[in-house]
Amino acid sequence: MPTNSPKPEQLGLQEPRVRALPLSRTDTLVDDILDICDLASIECDPWQEGGLEAIASIDAEGQWAATEFGILVSRQQGKGNILLPYELAHLYLWPREDGAPKLIGHTAHEGATAREAFRRARRIILASPILRAELVGGGKQTAQGVTGISTGNGNWAIELKNGNRLVFFTRTGAAGVGVSFDVLIVDEAQHSPLTILEALLPATDASPNKQVLFTGTVPKEDQDGEYFEGLRDRGRKGGFERTGWIEHTPVGSDDPDLAAKIDLGDPQTWREGNPGLGIRLAWKTVEDDWNRMGQTNPEAFARQRCSIWPSRRPEVAAKLSELDLDVWKRHARDDAAVSGDGVVLSLALGRGGGYGTIGAAVRVDSEHIAVEHIWTESGTRWISPMLKQLKAKYGNALVVLDSKNAAAVIGALDAAGIKYLAMNLDEIAASHTLFIEHVNAGLVPHRDQPEVTKSLELATTRNIGRAGVTWEQSDPTKPVTMAQAITWALWGVLKSEASPKKRTPPPPKAAVLTRDAVGGNDLDLATARF
């Protein structure tokens, strides 16, 4: 070993701490991937080969054993040497059983990440005469560029003579609409809000042998990594028929109590969280990161460099929220319908904007605020007309909403001239706290609406940055829009009461001006000429 090579104790551990394979696995096609690596001159590290061996697991019928597979690893480890060989094997070696062209999608949160992945794939293919020859048109150089490779208008795609295509794109609300993928790569999975994935993931449902691969790092508190976190939980639990999971993390990092005691300055911790250490990531780089962040921002070091991501505590998972449902149920009354002056309306949209809910609240007396579920319906085109009608019915009622949640209908509301109050993160968190406090104190009368009670029973919470928590689905199939709507409506009542009213001062009372009231040096209206 050269003298400048890292010592064995300075190399990242090549075996992942967690490696959960799908129960349906009977074999693997990793040899195919290693063959394509030879053609493409891609040299994989042992941990990367191990990841590819797991992802390429097949079942007894030759189908992919895992329809979803996740890999958690810190940045700059070389996960591209997993993604690119995996994509090339699908593109060149693994045709669809029905002979139809295969479509492979590589999606990233940032455009720069997707573009860089495309550029590397293009460079590798063009550098290999065998791979290049399979491009449409033989990969010939023309005035428009290289045949078989598209780069115009953000359309980054590689197409072979057999019709198989590999496309690269960024994740948006419209991504995947009208497209059917056989394989989908979700890179930067820590940025994977359910609103986007619920629109994107169904794009693989029509494939006879689909697979979705997620790769990412630990998300920050204010990032939308709900789906990736759910996949992590399933992976750590293990025992699923079609789910696979790998993570390179320090021992104890999944336990909320043990994770807090991990010595972030221990070189062994660095080795456990960085499989590329000493190979693709310099030891000195990690030392510099620790020296720079160890005292000022150890949480960031733990997340970014060591992939420490504790699971939720069991007691938190068992109790979905702090709401006392018994108190909520006791205060159901037939005469608690929202009506009269001061009604506040609220709007909450479901994940992906596929449905919406309108709620309402009103001050009943000095302590009590009544809430009510007004309407829930699929689609969104009905929302603007109904809100306009309800605003008029309740005397130009205030409408409150979360602009991020309601992004799909904001344009329609503006076009209809419906004014609304958009809540910021702090207000969304405050509304949750106030709703829990008022309900648990028995101050929220309501009609007996079973659908609302069910929504509250199924709703859990999630952190929204440092602001606090808000309602969240405990399962993608269990909507929480009714819980959100009545929560935000109650906050709207309190907010409207706390906001100072704009008052126009009354004009001065009429008075008679006499001669004696005019000073000697003042203008005498009796002799003034106009």
Q: Does residue 509 lie in a domain region?
A: no
When pLDDT is averaged across residues 268-273 and rounded to a whole number, the result is 95
When pLDDT is averaged across residues 311-330 and rounded to a whole number, the result is 78
Q: Where are the alpha helices (DSSP H) in 210-250?
A: 226-237
Higher-confidence residue of 224 and 426: namely 426
433 plus 392 within the same structural domain: yes
CATH code of the domain covering residue 92: 3.40.50.300
Q: Does residue 421 lie in a domain region?
A: yes
Q: What percent of the chain has pLDDT over 70?
A: 89
Under a CB-based contact definition with an 8 Å cutoff, are residues 317 and 85 in contact? no
- The predicted-structure confidence for 36-63, as pLDDT tens digits, reads as follows 999 999 999 999 999 999 999 999 999 9
Number of domains in the chain: 3
CA 183 – CA 189 distance, rounded (Å): 15
Closest CA to 114 of 81, 155, 71: 155
Helix (H), strand (E) at residue 496: helix 481-498
The 8-class DSSP code of residue 502 comes to P
> pLDDT-based confidence at 250, cuts 50/70/90?
very high
Percent of the chain as helix, strand, coil, to the nearest 5: 35, 20, 45
304 plus 434 within the same structural domain: no
Least confident interval from 74-88, 264-278, 322-336, 496-510: 496-510
Answer whether residue 314 shows pLDDT above 80. Answer: no
Answer whether residue 5 shows pLDDT above 80. Answer: no
- The predicted-structure confidence for 69-111, as pLDDT tens digits, reads as follows 999 999 889 999 999 999 999 999 999 989 999 999 999 988 8
Least confident interval from 203-212, 279-288, 507-516: 507-516
> pLDDT-based confidence at 199, cuts 50/70/90?
confident
- Domain of 32, in residue numbers: 16-248
The 8-class DSSP code of residue 338 comes to -
Contacts 24+ apart (CB under 8 A), 232-239: 232/70, 232/72, 232/309, 232/311, 233/311, 233/312, 235/18, 235/20, 235/70, 236/18, 236/20, 236/311, 237/20, 238/20, 239/20, 239/23
Tokens representing 435? 């709703």
Q: Does residue 454 lie in a domain region?
A: yes
**pLDDT for 1:** 40
Q: Does residue 346 lie in a domain region?
A: yes
**pLDDT for 178:** 66
When pLDDT is averaged across residues 15-40 and rounded to a whole number, the result is 96
Q: Which of 248, 277, 295 is the last residue of a domain?
A: 248
> pLDDT-based confidence at 528, cuts 50/70/90?
very low
Q: Which of 221, 248, 275 is the last residue of a domain?
A: 248
Q: Does residue 103 lie in a domain region?
A: yes
CA angle at 402 for the pair 401 and 406, rounded to the nearest 5° = 85
**pLDDT for 529:** 40
> pLDDT-based confidence at 518, cuts 50/70/90?
very low
Closest CA to 372 of 339, 403, 344, 337: 337
**pLDDT for 171:** 83
What integer best gives the mean pLDDT of the chain? 88
Q: Does residue 413 lie in a domain region?
A: yes
Task: Say how many C-beta atoms besides its own lie within 10 A of residue 32's C-beta.
Answer: 17
Which are the contacts of 151, defined by CB distance < 8 A and separation ≥ 6?
145
Which pTM does this prediction carry? 0.62
Answer whether residue 502 shows pLDDT above 80. Answer: no
**pLDDT for 174:** 59
**pLDDT for 194:** 76
